[in-house]
Chains A and B, each alone.
Chain A
Amino acid sequence: MSGALGDMWDYLRSSEAWSGRNGLPALAWAHLRVSAVAVLVAAAVAIPAGVLLGHVKRGALLAVSVVNIGRAVPSFAVLALLLPFSLRYGFGLGFWPTIVALVLLAVPPIFTNTYTGVRDVPADAVEAAQGMGMRGGELVRRVELPVALPLVLTGLRVSAVQVVATATLGALVGYRNLGTLIVTGFTSPNKGRMLAGAVAVALLALAVDAIFALAARLLVPWRRKPGRWADAAVAGPDGGAAPAAP
């Protein structure tokens, strides 16, 4: 271990670590880019779907199924399955299979949290809004979404952290990112790069987690008072944490 730490230190001091397409900055940027695109695409799909189903209060079975199946499908397997097709239909190595696997990973938490958040908006709040003459879209925009916002943000946060952590696997199908340092390290006797890559991904994931926590604090001031933010994220007895991690 100490040998590996020393190797990491040596690697970090080398110019190779900080420049070129295999340098940490370039790899980290690629890592973030694929993660951000995946989360945005997932949000664009999952939030409208969750709001719609939550608003009409239908589709509980669908919600449960999406989450359970989503959790059961291993991202690694998705990557492995997609790669041949990506190649066959000319999308090439790397980016596209990675994006698809990550979007599939990111959709379930965002979708269920949005769905549950909107569905469980207190009935009296909805009735009061209707009493004031709000209908359909206006009701969603001015009451249901704001009330559901904390849960939606929690879903985004869970997804983002998992996506950042899982994007690492893209390296296995040829998408160059921080995972590349790890994958190439497996076969190399020098573990310095691998360790550097591992630490970098972990730091990135924790940073994304912290950024979302902060954003939630700023965007949802009314949730700050009662207790800890982290606890607001704890789901009820049926809830618990997130779907398949990397």
Chain B
Amino acid sequence: MRDRQASAPADVAVPVGAPPPVAEIGAEPGPPADAGGQVALRLDRLTKVYPGASRPAVDGLDLTVPRGELVALVGPSGCGKTTTLKMINRLVEPTSGTVWLDGVDVRSLPVHELRRGIGYVIQQAGLFPHRKVRDNIATVPRLLGWPRRRIDDRVHELAELLDLDPDLLDRYPAALSGGQQQRVGVARALAADPPVLLMDEPYSAVDPIVRARLQDELMALQRRVHKTIVLVTHDIDEAIKLADRIAVLNVGGVLEQVGPPEDLLREPATDFVADFLGEDRGIKRLSLLRVGSAALRRGPVVGTAASADEARQVMAREGTDWVVVCAGDRLRGWVGADELDRVATVADAEPRRFAAVVRADTTLRSALDVIVTSRSRVAVVVDDPHAGAAGASPDARYLGILTLDDLAEGVTG
């Protein structure tokens, strides 16, 4: 394990494909059947009773984490999320039960070696205040005795991967913003390219805007490096956004439900899970779907040269009182029925810009938000990386339209 992770560059660390279905709960004791196979991490009846505590912090937890997946642990404060995470890298020793890492009982490894092979990211980043950013990132490679050249190369590689300005490398952590510190924390955890990453509320100490950006970065990063990640959060939206699967814990470390976000949102197994997901469960499901994956309607489209009559026919066919105007496949704007009276072609009516513009990779939830805040009932979908609140660029490619009815179907369908 050490050799492979030490030599593999970040983005080819672990071979992945679509993870095949995995047995949800391993009830039988003993090593997992597929040691070294698709299951990276398995918690087997993991229990922790802190000395002097009357009830367990974690109670008989079974959980399987497939290789290359991000599993989010969510639950109310004090339900044992952190405890569970720390039992994986043995910062906390379980009272009973076993953690299997690649089919190996973690207790059979020397604790320092185990930890050097598992990345760990915590809320306040936990950077060493007395070391420059570059030395913080180099911590584990140094512990592993990498040659200096290789460490330098790796530090720069990570700085690039995490979008850290090279100037920052020679600063001390005190001179970084919260978001930058958190990125350095992630870089440090990834430094020796560990196959497994544990993250404990990594983004709860930064403001919502930075948090959203860091989450996006993590998703982009994960698409490249395919780590096996256990992420603790009590932000259910963060879990829905990032996780392949979500495990909901109840107080006392009892597992209530585990599964892909869609499954949880569609069919919460217990009232507790339903409560925890919140009353706007349906709306939350929208954040799992992208505009491009919904069947886009072509909508009432006419060319710039279309006559007023042609435009009226299209409106009648589509049941609208407006048309989309395109030049070829480029979006020009829209024209309303009452503007057609005085003109020969729609181009003469000077098409107006859409108030609501979304992209194919926008989530349905954001699309709903865009539509509602623009006070229209429809958003235009374009293929334009810069589309956003300011609208689309003049030659954005037109993909279709999205109406409130389409969104409603996304929730119920």
Do A and B have CB atoms closer than 8 angstroms in the complex? no
Residues of B that sit less than 8 Å from A by CB: none
Residues of A that sit less than 8 Å from B by CB: none
